[in-house]
């Protein structure tokens, strides 16, 4: 159908020409964000399907928006054809090294029978947009993509290059993690002064009230130990005191009663100092005293009794799995437990293991490392980044405060921090702190929250790249 083809090319050319008259040469209007979100949600990117299809879809959209092919790079590992990544670059004036935004394209599995709606369709209902990945993190991917296209269309020339990498395999913790792979195999494409990762930030609200935008500067380190108690066993009619199940159970009971010492970082101190503004009464006083370094034992005790604040104060280790014994009528020869630790940045795995050994207090229990810790230093909260986020945030929501945060779980930022690139989790998609649905059923975002996220991302991207 050559005639239709020619007509289409002409029409596209005219549209591009008229766009160029008001903005930069060749740039066209970005796609409607809602339509792009719908396309991404309807492309299943769970672990078994992979992310290459979504990366290709975004590649087409960036090319249609006027980006040069050499600035829109689809990079797919040779041995993992389904785990593709897309790296897009908006050229700046070369004043400083680039800013890299990262966003994963993959999502957690979702079953139709668990959901009120089809998880792989975008459904609007009563002011909400439902679909797998809308908050984690296809909504943010759309915000990054559309913001970069909008900057291109405006003819905005950042001081330094802006790079956005849409990546594979964050959720399954698989062997094709896009951020890790790009940093090690294609460093030239993604090398940067600083990373922004909307997967890590948090815009928290409660009962409809917007409270804070948190800048994630650090993450606790993931570290897993195995415990094993062993014995020669024997007939269950002749019980012994050396029963490995009893020994292990006693040691685990000691661990259950144990708390690691309080270990504050620059981030957690500042977090408590600022967070106190949102609280009242005793809790406010306790948080303030932690922030100013004057907390007494009673304040620490009260904050340690609540999960949410306890995990900000210290390293934690908890039992997650247990097994032992081999027959109904035999003394066990072996009992094993898995201990999962989340370690405050700056604390060594050796220190944690030594503390465990002391508290378990049984030299016959062998301790081994199942998953070693990966170094993950805290990124310094610079006045420049703090001010950029504060100004952007309060330009949209004047009453919302900005605070730094250490997250108890891991994001892709731990790969970029590990290679020495300061990384910040920042996101403006407000979500109810008491109704988190990422990874769960009926994942959703507010229609208005999505609109505001688009504006927040655009403004922050522009602000950071302008300097
Ligand atoms: Zn995520």
CB 332 within 8 A of CB 244: yes
pTM: 0.88
Closest CA to 316 of 342, 279, 353, 289: 342
| Phi, psi angle pair for 316, to nearest 5° | -130, 150
The per-residue pLDDT for 375 is: 80
The whole-angstrom separation of Cα 311 and Cα 245 is 29
Q: Is the pLDDT of residue 25 over 70?
A: no
- Mind giving me the DSSP string for 222-258? EEEEEEEEE---EETTS--TT-HHHHHHHHHHHHHT-
**Residue 31 or residue 451, greater confidence:** 451
Distance 199 CA to ligand 1 centre (A): 5
| Phi, psi angle pair for 193, to nearest 5° | -80, -30
Distance 135 CA to ligand 1 centre (A): 8
The whole-angstrom separation of Cα 301 and Cα 297 is 6
The whole-angstrom separation of Cα 318 and Cα 64 is 50
| Per-residue pLDDT reduced to its tens digit, 207-251 | 999 999 999 999 999 999 999 999 999 999 999 999 999 999 999
Virtual CA dihedral for 321, 327, 329, 332, nearest 10 degrees? -50
Distance 197 CA to ligand 1 centre (A): 10
- Could you tell me the pLDDT band of residue 24, with boundaries at 50, 70 and 90? low
Structure tokens at 75: 């990079």
Structure tokens at 12: 């596209």
Instruction: Quote the percentage of the chain above a pLDDT of 90.
Output: 87
Distance 391 CA to ligand 1 centre (A): 25
Distance 171 CA to ligand 1 centre (A): 7
Give bridge partners of residue 406 from the DSSP assignment: 218
Distance 248 CA to ligand 1 centre (A): 36
| Per-residue pLDDT reduced to its tens digit, 157-214 | 999 999 999 999 999 867 899 999 999 999 999 999 999 999 998 999 999 999 999 9
Q: In whole angstroms, how large is the CA radius of gyration of the chain?
A: 25
- Classified as helix, coil or strand, 431 is strand
- Ranges of beta strands (E only) in 132-273 are 162-167, 194-196, 202-206, 209-219, 221-230, 234-235
- Parallel, antiparallel, or unpaired for β 401-407 and 334-343? unpaired
Q: Is the pLDDT of residue 292 over 70?
A: yes
Residues 60-64, mean pLDDT to the nearest whole number: 98
| Per-residue pLDDT reduced to its tens digit, 8-19 | 333 333 344 344
Distance 183 CA to ligand 1 centre (A): 18
């Amino acid at each position: 159908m050559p005639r239709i083809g020619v007509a289409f090319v002409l029409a596209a050319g005219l549209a591009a020409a008229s766009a160029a008259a008001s903005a930069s040469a060749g740039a066209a209007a970005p796609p409607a964000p809602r339509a792009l979100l719908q396309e991404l949600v309807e492309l299943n990117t769970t672990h078994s399907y992979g992310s290459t299809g979504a990366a290709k879809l975004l590649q087409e959209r960036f090319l249609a928006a006027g980006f040069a092919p050499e600035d829109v790079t689809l990079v797919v590992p040779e041995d993992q054809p389904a785990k593709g990544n897309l790296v897009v670059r908006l050229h700046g004036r070369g004043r400083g090294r680039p800013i890299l935004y990262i966003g994963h394209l993959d999502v957690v599995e979702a079953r139709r029978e668990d959901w009120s709606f089809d998880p792989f369709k975008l459904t609007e209902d009563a002011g909400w947009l439902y679909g797998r990945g809308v908050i984690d993190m296809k909504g943010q991917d759309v915000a990054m993509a559309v913001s970069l296209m909008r900057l291109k269309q405006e003819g905005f020339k950042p001081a330094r290059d802006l790079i956005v990498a849409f990546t594979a395999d964050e959720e399954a913790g698989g062997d094709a993690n896009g951020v890790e792979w790009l940093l090690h195999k294609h460093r030239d494409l993604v090398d940067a002064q600083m990373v922004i990762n909307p997967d890590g930030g948090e815009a928290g609200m409660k009962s409809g009230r917007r409270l804070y935008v948190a800048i994630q500067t650090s993450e606790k380190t993931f570290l897993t130990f195995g415990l094993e108690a062993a014995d020669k066993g024997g007939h269950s009619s002749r019980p012994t005191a050396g029963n490995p199940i009893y020994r292990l159970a006693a040691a685990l009971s000691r661990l259950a009663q144990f708390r690691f010492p309080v270990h504050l970082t620059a981030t957690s101190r500042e977090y408590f100092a600022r967070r106190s503004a949102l609280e009242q009464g005793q809790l406010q006083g306790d948080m303030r005293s932690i922030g100013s370094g004057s907390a007494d034992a009673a304040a620490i005790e009260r904050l340690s009794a609540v999960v949410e604040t306890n995990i900000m104060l210290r390293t934690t280790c908890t039992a997650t799995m247990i097994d032992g014994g081999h027959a109904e009528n035999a003394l066990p020869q072996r009992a094993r437990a898995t201990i999962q630790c989340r370690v405050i940045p700056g604390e060594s795995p050796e220190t944690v293991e030594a503390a465990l050994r002391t508290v378990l207090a049984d030299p016959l229990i062998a301790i081994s490392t199942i998953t070693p810790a990966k170094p993950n230093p805290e990124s310094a909260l610079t006045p420049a980044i703090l001010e950029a986020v504060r100004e952007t945030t309060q330009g949209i929501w004047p009453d919302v405060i900005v605070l730094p945060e250490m997250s108890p779980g891991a994001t892709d930022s731990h790969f970029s921090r590990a290679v020495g690139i300061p990384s910040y989790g920042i996101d403006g998609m407000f979500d109810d702190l008491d109704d988190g649905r990422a990874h769960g059923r009926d994942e959703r975002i507010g229609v208005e929250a999505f609109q505001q996220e688009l504006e927040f991302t655009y403004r922050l991207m522009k602000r950071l790249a302008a300097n």
